[in-house]
Amino acid sequence: VAGLGNYGLWGTRHNVGMEVLDQLARQLAVAEGWRMDKRCCADVALATAHGVELVLLKPRRFMNLNGLSVASAAEIYNLGPEDIYLVHDDLDKALGKVAIKLGGSARGHNGVQSCISALHSSEMTRLRIGIGRP
């Protein structure tokens, strides 16, 4: 599960993907388990939910390069695009509205496009979180 955003720019609308991962880590009681993994240039926490092992990932790169971290982590943890969930902001959705999408185009989202390019696939499931337009 990868939270897309701009690492270090906390509190901005475009970082909602990383903020959701922080909340998920708290709910799964692994919030203290985040560690920097230089192999994929990301913060990583491992968790288990309903018997499923999860890799939580917060790339330490700018949004338009998030895919490099996601692809590296996929290789390290032996995951295919179909195993990856992207959590990201969506300007076209009203603030707070959410939608799940399987595959398809990036719809203009630079972080998603970076993941599609780096993984050579658009098969990732996406949790799109509405942030509305300014």
Residue numbers annotated as active site: 14
Q: Burial code of 36-56, b = ≥16 C-beta within 10 A, e = fewer? A: ebeebbbbbbebeeeeeebbb
- Indicate the SS3 state at residue 103: coil
Axis crossing angle, helix 110-119 with helix 66-76, rounded to the nearest 10: 40
